[in-house]
Structure 1
Amino acid sequence: MSEENVYDKAHELARTIRSSEEWKALAKTWEDVDKNPEHRRYIEQFRELSMELQALQMQGKDPSQEKGEEWNRLLQKIQSDSTLSKYLESERRFGQLMADINRIVSGPVEELYKNSRGK
């Protein structure tokens, strides 16, 4: 398979992702969130805080109780609002799709390293 063909397949995959139900649901729910500045602010704060907490965990550090409580308060606000909770669920489903695709696409590299360890 030529290099150009690999890129063609990657573009085809991107088009397929855009036509998936997961992508369509994410795009629709984001459109609904984006219409309301308060909704958008909650989602942005939730993302920022989630990334901050993940970074601490990756460093082997525990987040402060205050940060944990702030994250829980934001999560409760999001879950109590149907627009925001639909968005969060759409984002979770799309994230799972992308994780599955990444695992599949990464397969050849994993196979290479598994096979080289056996030598």
Structure 2
Amino acid sequence: MVVNIYDTANELERQMRQTQEFIGLKEAFDDLKADKEATDLFVKFQAKQAAAQQKQMQGQEISEDEIKEIQALAKDVTSKDVIQALMAKEQQVDQMIQQLNQIITGPLQELYKQFGPQEG
């Protein structure tokens, strides 16, 4: 039997959009967009964080000033209820994705388990 796994993946994508977790995240983004100050802060924080990660990936060191700026932004970000709500919804979606990943990779885990520690 030939299975088109990509059809299944596309169906999973459509179903994911209908989950409570995704709908909650989408609503949290809508709430964030309604608060311009929080949105600007969130975008700035994400940009600084991404730039720092990029530097690390390229083997560059992040300066003390950059670290302090990111820490200050992180403090400001976590002080905004709308951003905290968004982050909580992101965690819920992430947990769902992790659970799906465990299910999807189950056959691989079974294959590799045979090379794990043997009892006896």
TM-score by length of 1: 0.74
What is the CA distance between 1:75 and its match in structure 2? 1.1
Q: What is aligned with 2:88? A: 89
1:57 is matched with 56
Q: Which residue of 2 aligns with 1:75?
A: 74
- Aligned partner of 1:98 in structure 2 is 97
Match of 2:7 in 1: 8
- Name which one, 1 or 2, has greater alpha-carbon Rg: 2
The answer to which structure has the higher helix fraction is 1
* Counterpart contact for 2:38–2:80, Cα < 8 Å: no
**Structure 1 residues 85 and 62, CA, compared in 2 at 3 Å: closer, same or farther?**
same
Please, which moves more after superposition, 86-95 or 67-76? 86-95
| Cα separation, 2, equivalents of 1:68 and 1:102 | 33
Partner residue in 2 for 1:66: 65
Deviation at 1:95, TM superposition (A): 3.2
Q: Partner amino acid for 1:76?
A: K
Residue 17 of structure 1 is matched in structure 2 by 16
Instruction: Give the distance between the partners of 1:60 and 1:103, measured in 2 at CA.
Output: 32
Which residue is 2:47 aligned to? Answer: 48
What stretches of structure 2 of length at least 5 have no aligned partner?
A: 113-120
Q: Secondary structure at the match of 1:55?
A: helix
Matched, 1:32 2:28: no
> What is the number of equivalent residue pairs in this alignment?
116
Q: Distance in 1 between matches of 2:77 and 2:99?
A: 26
What 5-or-longer segments of structure 1 have no aligned partner?
Answer: 115-119
Report percent identity of matched pairs. 27
- TM-score of the pair, normalised by structure 2: 0.73
SS at match of 2:73: helix
